[in-house]
Amino acid sequence: MSGGMILLIVVTVLILMGLGHRVLDRLRLSDKAALAILVAIVISTIFIPDIKLTDNISFNIGGFVIPVGLAVYLFIKADTGKEKIRSVVGAIAAGIAIYLVQRFVLPAEPERLPIDPNHVYPIVGAIVAYALGRSRRGAFIAGVIGVVISDLIQLILNSINNIPVPTNFGGAGGVDTTVITGILAVLMAEVFGELRERLQGGTEKKHMHFDKGHFVSTLGEDQEKDKEQADRGTDIKNKTESNETGGDIDEKK
C-alpha cells in the first residue's frame, strides 16, 4: 500500500474519532463531506483506471479530479481577495519548486534515493505552499494545484522539445504526491498557525463561529449581550434606590 493511501486511511480514522474538527471547519468542510471525499479518492484510485486524453496525456479521478475540484471549491469560498492571491502565488511557486527539485536536485535514477521521490516532492511543495498560502485553505490550494503546475511545466517542455514522454496527472505515484502535499500543507498551516495565534494572544477569528460553511461574526451578538446585561444592572440599581427612597419616606411619616 502506498504512502498516500496509508495517509488517507489515517486521516479517515482521525475524523471518525472526532479529531480534526477545527481543521475541517477552517477548510469549510463537515465531517460527512470530508469522509465522502476521502472514500471517493480511495475507491476511484483503486478501481477506476486512468483516463486517456491523448497518447501522452492521461489523468486519474482520485489523484487529480477530486483533489483539484476540492481546491477550486476552497478557492471560491476564500474569505478575501488577499487569500486568493496568496493561494495563486503559492501554487505557482510550489509548482516551480517541485519541478526544479525533480529536474536539478534529485538523481535521474530513483533507486539511488533512500526514500521514494514521490515523498520528496510533497515535502518541498507543502513547505512552499504553507509559506506563501499561509491559511489552511490557502496552503491546501497551493499544495494541490502546485503539483498540477509542476506536471504542466514538464508537459510543456516535453512538447517543445518533442520528447514523447507520457504525462499522467494524478496517476501512478502522482496520487501520493497530490494527497500528501495537500494534507501536509494543511497540517503545517494548522500547527504553525496555532503557534502564531497563541503568540499573538489569540486567533483573529475569536469573535467568529463556523456556521453552514461560513465564519459568522459574533461580535455584534456579544455587544448586544453586554448591553442587555448593563441595562438589567441599571434597572436593578434603580429599583433598589427607589425602594430605599420609599422606605425613608415611610419612616419620616
Residues 13 and 116 in one domain: yes
Per-10-residue mean pLDDT for the chain, 253 residues long? 68 69 74 86 86 90 90 88 91 92 76 70 86 84 91 92 88 75 83 76 51 46 59 62 54 47
In tens, the pLDDT along 199-232 reads 766 555 545 444 444 444 444 455 555 566 666 6
Q: Which three cell numbers stand for residue 249?
A: 419616606
pTM: 0.72
Residues 194 and 146 in one domain: yes
Residues 31 and 93 in one domain: yes
Q: CB–CB of 169/61 below 8 Å? A: no
How far, in Å, CA of 112 to CA of 237, rounded?
A: 81
Q: What is the pLDDT of residue 48?
A: 87
Residues 15 and 84 in one domain: yes
How far, in Å, CA of 42 to CA of 191, rounded?
A: 26
Number of domains in the chain: 2
Residues 206 and 230 in one domain: no
Q: Domain range spanning residue 222? A: 218-252
Q: What is the pLDDT of residue 214?
A: 44
Residues 239 and 190 in one domain: no
Residues 58 and 177 in one domain: yes
* Spacing of C-alpha 73 from chain mean position: 11
Amino acid at 93: A
Residues 47 and 22 in one domain: yes
Query: What's the residue count for the chain?
Result: 253
Residues 156 and 207 in one domain: yes
Residues 179 and 132 in one domain: yes
Residues 24 and 133 in one domain: yes
State how beta strands 57-59 and 167-169 pair.
Answer: parallel
Q: What is the pLDDT of residue 21?
A: 66
Residues 238 and 162 in one domain: no
Q: CB–CB of 113/106 below 8 Å? A: yes
Q: What is the pLDDT of residue 246?
A: 54
